[in-house]
Amino acid sequence: MFPWSYLTLFLLIAAQVNKAQRCAEFTDLNLGHAFLGTSVKVRLLLYTRENSTCATLLSHSNLSACPQLNLSRPTTFIIHGYRPTGSPPVWVHDLTDLVLARKDVNVIVVDWNHGAANVNYLKVVENTKKAGANITAFIEKMQEHGGSPSSIHMIGVSLGAHISGFVGANLNGSIGRISALDPAGPQFTGTGPEDRLDPTDAEFVDVLHTDMDALGYREPLGHIDFYANGGADQPGCPKTIFSGTSYFKCDHQRSVGLYLGSLNHTCASRAFPCSSNTDFLDGKCLSCDQFGAAGCPVFGYDVTQWKSILLKLGQTKTFFTTNAESPYCITGYQVDVMIWNMEPRQGYITIKLHYNGTEAVANIDHKSSEFKKNKETRLFAQFDKDVEQVEKVSVKFSTGKPFQPKYKLRILRIRLTHLELQATALCRYDVTLEENSDVTFRPIPCEESNF
């Protein structure tokens, strides 16, 4: 090749590199910035289906300068929270990709890392209203260019949830939807609705709680509030401070993981309206009648299917349980047990469902259950996975008291009802459980006429 061919090649490569470099990146700061503190700077990174990996930095003042922002499409804003070390949030690309996979929208990642990176959390809280005002001005610009606020969805994580609320309030609740992922608690708990997220901030507000005893918010803030695993401690998250930083953020961050699972269709968790997690675990809230044929709301991105009924209900508090890792969803069964022992029995039940070598397990051990002669005890069994078909069932009874004489639980009838497929209740009649040992049997369809 002649030297000028090399030159052409070089120029071509340089042009490619230059093109690649035009992708806007989320601001990457470090602990140094966090110690010095940063003041608010809002950058808006646009992703679309045409350009899902390379962001365009939007101008706040001139929307015509960015033809990729197509205001005939709906727009989803993604707003992060506190960044104590200044690093970019690890989940932001996954969330962007999955939203774009679901819907042809403009995804605008709000990068307010300058403002969120500060070792002093109180300063960052002060910055949330400033960030909110800035985003509000941008949305007003969008409206001037024909954008409709009702087609805007804001997904706010932690402090980002309250920022979404401020933006929504500034726009008189005209925004279509706010999804709040574990809205921040500290400095917001106990404040009035003007100083935090509330249901008037958008046409529809859905909220997930995963860390309400530490970084998250305890009370309901939306039209529907989902409390995952009770809303405070998440399975698989460290319980002691010796696990380092993940002890502080694991429960809080799980909110994003659960939302990603709902977007990805890896999981569909029904959430049951209930006044407390205890009642929920006790199986007192398994009825979904108020939602008609749709059944209880499914947590996550698709809860908009329940929007009209939820708006009528006002504020609905719901509970669901998850596994420790993806796929997070569990499978629920209502289990009704009737015994014929003369004396009442107290204890814990473990149930396994078997199919073709796979086994799903439910430990009903949040507290000991009471069984009485000829009286039905209702249990809520939550299996770590679903099995296609139930070939065999194993049941174990234990009192949790190793030094007492072993008890027998004489079961007159045990009935398992899949909460999604209520038609196919499975039964077993007359089986005796020896304490601490599995009894395995083939279930049969229940004969309602017998009872």
Name the residues annotated as catalytic.
158, 182, 252
Binding range to ligand NAG, per CB under 6 A, among 53-61, 121-129, 296-304, 308-316 = 53-61
Select the residue interacting with ligand NAG from 62, 240, 374, 449 (CB under 6 A).
62
Number of other CB atoms surrounding residue 111 within 10 Å: 25
| Interface with ligand NAG, residue 65, by CB under 6 A | yes
CB-CB contact of 83 with 53 (8 Å): no
| Interface with ligand NAG, residue 22, by CB under 6 A | yes
Q: Closer to ligand NAG at the Cβ: 154 or 288?
A: 154
Helical pair 245-263 and 92-102, crossing angle rounded to 10 deg: 10
CB-CB contact of 329 with 322 (8 Å): yes
**15 membership: H or E segment, kind and range:** helix 3-21
Q: In angstroms, rounded to a whole number, what is the distance separating the alpha carbons of residues 55 and 46?
A: 5
**DSSP-H helix ranges across 286-367:** 307-313
| Interface with ligand NAG, residue 356, by CB under 6 A | yes
Closest distance to ligand NAG from the beta carbon of 117 (Å): 14
Q: Which of residues 88-107 bind ligand NAG (CB under 6 A)?
A: 94, 98, 104
| Interface with ligand NAG, residue 357, by CB under 6 A | yes
Q: Closer to ligand NAG at the Cβ: 264 or 399?
A: 264
Select the residue interacting with ligand NAG from 87, 148, 200, 264 (CB under 6 A).
264
Select the residue interacting with ligand NAG from 72, 374, 404, 450 (CB under 6 A).
72
| Interface with ligand NAG, residue 171, by CB under 6 A | yes
Q: In angstroms, rounded to a whole number, what is the distance separating the alpha carbons of residues 325 and 385?
A: 12
Select the residue interacting with ligand NAG from 29, 33, 34, 56 (CB under 6 A).
56
Binding range to ligand NAG, per CB under 6 A, among 59-67, 245-253, 279-287, 405-413 = 59-67
Select the residue interacting with ligand NAG from 64, 374, 404, 450 (CB under 6 A).
64
**Beta strand 272-273 with 43-47: parallel, antiparallel or unpaired?**
unpaired
| Interface with ligand NAG, residue 42, by CB under 6 A | yes
Q: In angstroms, rounded to a whole number, what is the distance separating the alpha carbons of residues 179 and 225?
A: 10
| Interface with ligand NAG, residue 14, by CB under 6 A | no
Select the residue interacting with ligand NAG from 70, 148, 350, 394 (CB under 6 A).
70
Which residue's entry shows tokens 């804003």?
Answer: 77
∠ CA 244-247-248, nearest 5°, is 105
> Please, which contacts does 99-102 make with residues 24 or more away whose CB atoms are closer than 8 Å?
99/155, 99/263, 100/47, 100/48, 100/49, 100/52, 101/263, 102/263, 102/301
Q: Which residues bind ligand NAG (CB under 6 A)?
A: 22-23, 41-42, 50-51, 54, 56, 60, 62, 64-65, 68, 70, 72-73, 94, 98, 104, 134, 137, 171-172, 260, 264, 266, 356-357
